[in-house]
Amino acid sequence: RQDFVQYLDQIVSSGLATNYRIFWLGDYHSHIPNFEYYDFKKRAWRFDWPAWLSLFTKGKVGNVSEEKESSKDDFDKNDLLILKELMKDARKKLSELSQMIGMTLPAAKYRFDNLARRGFLQDYVIQVLPYPPEISDLYEVRLDFGEHKAMIAKENFLKRLPFVLNYSRIKGTNSITIRVYLPRTEVNNLLTLLSALVRGGAIDRFSYMLLDPMTIQAQTFHYKAFDDKSGWDYDNHEYLAALRKLASSLDKAEASPVIFQPSKGLTVTMM
């Protein structure tokens, strides 16, 4: 973590960014949208905001559980290769994984089952966008709770909401971050709901960011930096040197010229 923070500090000091904030997240929980709120005859979604407000503030709490940390048992590069490939495509066959890591099919299945037993593999979910992208927006919403028990109690209600794609606890806080996908016509109702939860004391505060889904990028972990004998080997000096080189090249780059479009003559008749 210290190396990562140092890298971000260097980005700010180089002028490539003005500031940053880090949220260390727990396990991500993804699920298919709740089709109980979809009318198949009318082919339309039903947004029952009053019912959701009542559910969140007065609903009975089910079983409350803490997130379990993954086992600290050792793993090797073959385990990381399996995890990397499943992150890219959770439907990848065991026969393909066995060929990739150079093991028999039973050996690959044993590794797969062992990763699942230790908590590295939990489930896979088909990502579904329930509303047309051209009329919808993607948000990252943070909910801050007054107490830890209140957070884990209300967490169970999130999976019932058809506009919640996934959510995760923020480590070291009583907060949850939620990825919300919603038609633009319903955004004001979402903000009204969150404001009512604050006034009613269900949450302490909330914040949100509008995301551009076309610019979101993801990557798997850098498994090549792992050695079975010595473990992870990150050369932070190499990354910082590359960052300084990038900042230097941007400083030397000439500013793009300002180009105005030709103006058409405007005739004004004086009365």
- In tens, the pLDDT along 203-215 reads 999 999 999 988 8
CATH class name, domain 77-117: mainly alpha
pLDDT of residue 181: 93
pLDDT of residue 142: 97
Those residues of the chain that have pLDDT short of 50 are 70-71
Question: Which structure tokens are listed for 223?
Answer: 């498994």
CATH class name, domain 24-70+120-271: alpha beta
- Cβ atoms 165, 181 nearer than 8 A: yes
DSSP of 197-216: HHHTTS-SEEEEEEE-GGG-
Closest CA to 140 of 121, 157, 165: 165
DSSP, collapsed to helix, strand or coil, labels residue 97 as helix
pLDDT of residue 210: 95
Domains of the chain: which residue ranges? 24-70+120-271, 77-117
pLDDT of residue 131: 87
What stretch of H or E contains 117? helix 105-117
pTM exceeds 0.95: no
pLDDT of residue 127: 75
| Dist CA 250 CA 77 (whole Å) | 37
pLDDT of residue 136: 94
Cα 96 from chain centre: 28
Q: What are phi and psi of 156, to 5 degrees?
A: -65, -25
| Dist CA 73 CA 58 (whole Å) | 42
pLDDT of residue 57: 85
